[in-house]
Amino acid sequence: MSVLNIDVNELPEAQNFDPIPAGLYTVQIEKCEATPTKDATGIYLNLQMRVHSGDYVNRTVFSMINIKNKSDKAVQIGLGQLRQLALACDIHTIRDTDDFINKIVDVKVKIQPAKDGYEAKNVVSAYLKSADAVSSMPTMSVPAKAEPATPAPAAKKLPPWAK
């Protein structure tokens, strides 16, 4: 027997991992990790995103993007998704998986039905640039356009005795 002595009221509530309805959601990317496939012959990006607004705020959405795989078709699809994600994040050169962390994007979510003993789950089918990403960026003040200076009237040349 192990003594735990835990106050249940201090424990967090269990998270809901049921799929959210299909639709378009604004999310913030919390994690992006390069992960080896089960057979260790490929690599995929494992993304964890938190819904940023709306009815499902704070719910988590996961996505996997193949970047190396035995299947050329899987790689072709994955690299297309990676391109879409990078452009949605306004990233033009990916240096590291951390480049995606805290970026806000819109994702088109679908529901993959239950099959082969697995429960139904969400699948991200598109990554889009989010209007929220633009509005959450720090604003920069733009200086008012300067009016062209009007030249001062030319000083009249005074005769030497008037000085």
The tens digit of pLDDT for each residue in 80-95 reads 999 999 999 999 999 9
Whole-model pTM: value is 0.74
- Using a pLDDT cut of 70, give the percent of the chain over it: 81
- Determine, yes or no, domain membership for 66: yes
User: Between 144 and 133, where is the model more confident?
Assistant: 133
Cβ atoms within 10 Å of 53's Cβ, excluding its own: 14
Q: Report which DSSP code applies to 92.
A: S
Q: What is the mean pLDDT of the chain?
A: 86
- Using a pLDDT cut of 90, give the percent of the chain over it: 69
Domain span including residue 82: 16-135
- Determine, yes or no, domain membership for 11: no
- Residue 153: band (very low, low, confident or very high) from pLDDT cuts 50, 70, 90: low
With residues binned 3-state (H G I as helix, E B as strand, rest as coil), the percentages for the chain, rounded to 5, are 20, 30, 50
- Determine, yes or no, domain membership for 67: yes
pLDDT at 33 over 60: yes
Give residue 132's pLDDT.
Answer: 76
- Determine, yes or no, domain membership for 123: yes
Q: What is the CATH number of the domain that holds 82?
A: 2.40.50
N- to C-terminal Cα separation, the chain: 108
Question: Into how many domains does the chain fold?
Answer: 1
- Determine, yes or no, domain membership for 3: no
- Determine, yes or no, domain membership for 84: yes
Task: Residue 85: name the closest of 47, 52, 57, 54 by CA.
Answer: 47
How many whole angstroms separate alpha carbon 45 and alpha carbon 35? 6
- Determine, yes or no, domain membership for 73: yes
- Determine, yes or no, domain membership for 124: yes
Give residue 142's pLDDT.
Answer: 43
